[in-house]
Structure 1
Amino acid sequence: MNKIMFWLLSIIAILAFAAGPMLIQYNHWSLGYRGSGDWLSFWGSYLGVVPSGIIAALVAGVQIKESNKQNHENAMQNLNAIKNTKLLNYYYEIKNSSTKSFIILKGIKSGCDIEALYTFLCLQQRQAFNVVNLQTLLQENNLLHLNVKVVNADNSLNKLSEALMEYSGNLVLVERMMKLYAATIDENRNVLENEIDEELEDLYTAYTQQSTHKKIMEQLLKMIDLIDEKIKDLSA
């Protein structure tokens, strides 16, 4: 409804309010009749009750509008609370996977040779996880990718995504290195498979010279720090 129509209807309503009873009154009076107490009582009631009813209706309309607004705001707050709770769950999952991986990799001694690295990652297992360390790292890495993809749907955590990609790339290098080493100690291997030995040597050289283990630990710590910040923000 535009303003012109609103004001037109308002004027008509006012005229009807005032003119209606007057027409009824004058149609019931004879010439020269000056009125009676009944009509004065009627006008007193009419002019008192009708405006009061209109005002009450207007007040009720305003209250209903404010109530609807408040209900909408409460609903939005509840939705945000639910959203934040779900995000917190994802953040804690990411932190759990990152911390678990960090604890495992912390057990690798600095400067250990490839045989010791293979023994730790592929033969030993942590009692709490019931699988070999490398398998645990790969499982947790998959969970990290799934959860980070969810929380970074709006690209607000690109730094976390980048740190995860770097970590995953280095983990793939370690996994490949372990597979190659397992092939070299396989009793049924073909003695002519010199390519395996060469690739393994190149990978292990890159692993040691580029301080890959140190980078992996730094990347995990970076992810943990970023997630701690998000948890702190949502919990505030």
Structure 2
Amino acid sequence: MSAKKLLFLFLAAALLLGGAVVGVAFYFLRPLKAERVALEALARPSLTLREAPYGLELVPKAPKALLAFYPGARVEPLAYAPVLAPVAEAGYLVVLLKVPSGIALLGKERALEAQAAHPNLPLVVGGHSLGGVAAAEVAAREGLPLVLFASYPEADLSGQSLPTLALYGTEDGLLPPEEAREKAKRLPRGARVVFLEGLNHAGFGAYGPQKGDRPATRPREALWQEISQEVLLFLEGLGWDTPPPPQALR
């Protein structure tokens, strides 16, 4: 075989390999876009929406505290609006954090950036799936209350006493209940752990089905309401009943 033909075959193989790598990367890193219902959930007269470098702020008239929320891997932050907009409407400034390439572990400091913009508001961090892993790391480091959706800490936090809410679904195909119960042993002491009947992994947001997940067995609107209620119950239990002074919002 001539050198020219060998070079041609080498270049063709390299192009095929490069295309395959790009295709695989696109498949695994493609964003999971928020559904239209997520945008509709923001249409609440009592909320002001503000874009910030660190995320989308859902601002009530007199916020009592700040909930900075990390999205799941590749999930558009807006997808969590159906669950968290009611929390904001109840008096908590919610920030749907933007993270590099849709990976929360690459933007772990985003919650602290939000806190720096609102220094007089107490901070709670939360996250879904991989976003919860990032949130747990920040909470453990900074001593903050923690909200987890279908997630768990990477490190063992059972020796700490951070106020924690951990919500799981009985139909989760990516974090099945038996695995979730085992991982929950890493949660801080006294964590409230709730398994929501009929909820799957993608059901914590509005971004469509997720590969490897199971279908939810109850209407998602009812499940979203239950999630919101659990988060509000947890936040109200932290005792921040009186809004900070107006200068808390800047």
Please indicate, yes or no, whether the TM-score normalized by the shorter chain is above 0.5: no
**TM-score normalised per structure 2:** 0.27
- Higher relative contact order (Cα pairs below 8 Å, separated by 6+ residues): 1
**Max radius of gyration: which structure?**
1
> 1 or 2, which has the higher strand percentage?
2
